[in-house]
Structures are given as C-alpha cells and as structure tokens.
Amino acid sequence: MQKRFGLIGYPLSHSYSPAVFKKLISIAKLDNVTYELFPIESLDELPLLIKKYPDLVGFSVTIPYKKTILNRLTKLSPVATGIGAANTVKIERTGDYFELTGYNTDMHGLKHTLEAHNIQEKSALIFGDGGAAQAVKHALSNKNMDFEVVTRDKAGIHYSKLTPEIISNHKLLINTTPVGMFPNTKDVLPIPESGITHNHTLIDLIYNPAETSFMKMGKKHGAKVINGQLMLEKQAEKALEIWLK
C-alpha cells in the first residue's frame, strides 16, 4: 500500500526535510513510501490537501504553523499539549472523515543535541517565541535550566533592552527565529555581541546554511557554535516512528 508523508509550511525553499526523510526511508527499506513538500500559504488549505492525497498518512509542520496548527487538530499528545506546539501530525481516516493527532518531536531532537554536545550551562537566552521556542523551553525546563526569552514584542526581554551584561550572564544562547535562514543568509539578530565570550555556547536551530550569521557571530568571539542539523535528523526519526505505528 502506498504511503505518502510530507511537510507543510510557507515558504519551504530552505527545507532539507525531503533529503533527511528519503535517507531514513531508504535505510529502513520502506517500499512505496514517499515524502514531499506541501507549501501552503494558509492552514485553510489543509483540508483540501488531505482530501487530494488519500494516501497521505502524516506530515511535518514548520514555520509559521507550529502553534496555529493546534486548533486544526482532533487530538494532541501529552508532550505537544505541555509544549503548546506541534511539528508532527498523524492522519487517521475513516472513509471521507479524518482525525488529526499532533505530536512534538522538536523536543526529542533538541534533547539529543544538548546531550551530544554535553551542554551543562546554568541559564539560557532564547531568541524568538514561536513554535520551536516552545519546545526549547520545555527541553530546558526538563534539564532544570533557567532561561529568558528575547522577542520583538511584549513577551520577555525586548531586543532594544538587551545589554552585553545580559548576554554575558547567560552562557547558552539559542536562536529559534528564521533570521539568517536561506535565502536571507546575511540577516543578523540585533544582539550586543560584545557580551559573547569563549565561555558561551550558541545553538541555532537553522540548518540551512550550515553556518549561520548567528554562528559566525559566536565564532568571532571564540564561542562554541552548533547548528540545527542533528535536531532535524532526530526529530525526523521520531516522526517516522509515529507515522509507521
């Protein structure tokens, strides 16, 4: 039986997800399984997409829908409920009727990243407060790590209030925003980089490009820098496991 998986979001020109999933599908020797991109400009397009592809059994969710997808779902896993965002959805069909169950595998991916790099910092600054940031908060809370959020709105610390001292006091800096992502690779977060030292670790959830403007900023000051490739791979493994159950 043919099974189709995919990724919804907009835009999707930056995504490496098809390559990652195709590799996993090949390693698992899964026949009649495909993975493709579904760039949709609005979640209002989702029901038509699901009806158009009756063999679509699951999809990943990326910017900008990880939080707004929640009110389109029938059920949520406990982890996705706690995080308040979903990046993986499983479709269960009965005739023309379908149910959508949301999961969050981003946290699984970030957990592996933190463990692989032995991240032991006591406090973190999280740049951005979208769907990916919710998974980051959850993962850091599980490690009993303090954190503050930096945004352009009223939540947390506003970028205009960010000082070198604040940067200096948080040795883990995590970018969850799309700033610096392909094709806008020269865009830079408005950070007072003089607060960054060789004692810092910078994690950028972006994986395209492999070395982002955020990472280059950290390297310039001797900090350890990590991109989102491992997180992408590990969350994909977990998503595939969910869809094939």
Catalytically annotated residues: 66
| CA–CA separation, 225 and 211 (whole Å) | 9
Residue 201: what residue type? Answer: T
Q: Which helix (H) or strand (E) holds 61?
A: strand 56-61
- Burial grade of 168 (CB within 10 A; 0-12, 13-18, 19 or more): middle
**Measured between alpha carbons, how far is residue 219 from residues 33, 54, 117, 214 in Å?**
40, 47, 16, 9
Is residue 202 within 8 A of residue 214, CB to CB? The reply is yes
3-state helix, strand, coil in the chain (%, to 5): 35, 25, 40
Is residue 38 within 8 A of residue 59, CB to CB? The reply is yes
Is residue 222 within 8 A of residue 6, CB to CB? The reply is no
